[in-house]
Structure 1
């Protein structure tokens, strides 16, 4: 009896955590899309340029 109750609780916890993770990922993704959509082009270029330098990627 206790084994089935433990398995049911674990399954419910996993589903809850998965739903929370998906919601957080969606909010972060939407935030990135809106931030880049409203950011000035020079700010995006500078951010990409700095990222290329941190990854040792030759860009110029």
Structure 2
């Protein structure tokens, strides 16, 4: 079995595809990830973490 890899999603992307990619990795609804990230974003560090994740996580080459 091939290990799963975390990629930014192109088909579930709203901004940069980070939440969609995390949702695809954990096989859950992207809306749940977006809601959690929005709550985390209210602290200020969540916004920074989102853009850092967008830089670090590669785009999915298969989409």
Same fold (TM over 0.5): no
TM-score, normalising length: structure 1: 0.29
Higher RCO by CA contacts (8 Å cutoff, separation 6 or greater): 2
TM-score, normalising length: structure 2: 0.28
Q: Which has the higher helix share?
A: 1
